[in-house]
Structure 1
Amino acid sequence: MRVQWALAPLAMAGLLAGCQRHEAEPYEEIRPVQSIVAGRSAGTVGARYSGEVVARYESRLGFRTAGKIAARLVEVGSAVKRGQPLMRLSPEQEVLQVVAAGADVDAARSRVAQARIDLQRTEALLARQFASRAELDQQKLALDQAEAQLRAALAQRQAQENQRGYTVLTADRDGVVTAITAEAGQVVAAGQSVVTLAADGDREVAISIPESRLDELRQARGMQVSVWAHPGRSWNGELRELAPGTDSVTRTYSARIAIRNADPQLLRLGMTASVLVSNVEGASAIRLPLTAILDRDGQRHVWIVDPKSSRVGLRQVALGSAEADSVLVASGLNGGETVVTAGVHMLQPGQRVKPPVAAAETADAAASSGGGK
Structure 2
Amino acid sequence: MVDLKRENLPAILQKNTAIILLATAFHLMPVLSTRAADEAGVSVVAAPAELKPISNALEFVGRVEAPEKVAIRARVKGVLEDVLFREGDTIKAGTPLYRIEKSLFDADVQQAEGTLQRTQAELTLASIQRQRAQQLLERNAGTAVAFDQAVAQEAQAKAATISAGANLDTAKINLGYTDITAPISGRIGMTAVSKGNLVGPDSGELTSIVSQDPMYVTFPVSQRDITAAQKAGKVNDPKSIKLRIRFSDGTLYDQIGQISFLDVSVDRSTDTLIVRGDIANPTKTLVDGQLVKVELEAGTPEERVVVPQSALIADQQGVYVFIVEDGKAAIRRLKTQGSSGANAVVSSGLNGGELVITDGFQSIRPGVAVRPSPAPALNTGG
Q: TM-score, normalised by structure 2?
A: 0.63
Selected match of 1:353 from 349, 361, 368: 368
Map 1:144-293; keep pairs closer than 5 Å. Answer: 144-173=155-184, 177-190=188-201, 192-198=204-210, 202-204=213-215, 221-223=242-244, 234-238=254-258, 258-259=279-280, 262=282, 266-267=283-284, 277=295, 283-293=302-312
Paired residues of 2:72 and 2:208 also in contact (CA < 8 A): yes
Q: 1:123 and 1:295, CA in 2 relative to 1: closer, same or farther beyond 3 A? A: closer
Q: 1:277 and 1:369, CA in 2 relative to 1: closer, same or farther beyond 3 A? A: farther
Paired residues of 1:237 and 1:259 also in contact (CA < 8 A): yes
Equivalenced residues, count: 323
Partner of 1:20: none
Read off the aligned partner of 1:132 and give its amino acid letter: T
Selected match of 1:94 from 97, 105, 127: 105
Partner of 2:354: 337
Q: Which moved more, 1:327-336 or 1:92-101?
A: 92-101
Mapped to 2, the partners of 1:50 and 1:141 lie a distance apart of 68
Read off the aligned partner of 2:254 and give its amino acid letter: S
Give, in angstroms, the shift of residue 95 of structure 1.
2.3
Q: 1:132 and 1:277, CA in 2 relative to 1: closer, same or farther beyond 3 A? A: same
Partner of 1:369: 378
Give, in angstroms, the shift of residue 296 of structure 1.
4.3
Q: 1:45 and 1:328, CA in 2 relative to 1: closer, same or farther beyond 3 A? A: farther
Q: 1:306 and 1:187, CA in 2 relative to 1: closer, same or farther beyond 3 A? A: same
Give, in angstroms, the shift of residue 320 of structure 1.
0.8
Percent identity over the alignment is: 18
Runs of 5+ consecutive residues of structure 1 not aligned to the other structure = 1-23, 247-252
Deviations 1:63-116 (A, max 9, x none): 332222112223225565543432211123222322332232233223323323
Q: 1:193 and 1:242, CA in 2 relative to 1: closer, same or farther beyond 3 A? A: farther
- Say if 2:331 is the partner of 1:320: no
Mapped to 1, the partners of 2:119 and 2:200 lie a distance apart of 33
Partner of 1:129: 140
Deviations 1:234-289 (A, max 9, x none): 3434456899999xxxxxx99776227x3xxx547869998784768962222223
Runs of 5+ consecutive residues of structure 2 not aligned to the other structure = 1-27, 230-237, 268-273
Mapped to 1, the partners of 2:139 and 2:216 lie a distance apart of 86
Paired residues of 2:241 and 2:297 also in contact (CA < 8 A): yes
Q: 1:141 and 1:202, CA in 2 relative to 1: closer, same or farther beyond 3 A? A: same
Equivalent position SS for 2:201: coil
Q: TM-score, normalised by structure 1?
A: 0.65
Read off the aligned partner of 2:208 and give its amino acid letter: T
Give, in angstroms, the shift of residue 329 of structure 1.
1.0
Map 1:6-85; keep pairs closer than 5 Å. Answer: 30=38, 32=42, 33-43=44-54, 57-77=68-88, 80=91, 82-85=93-96
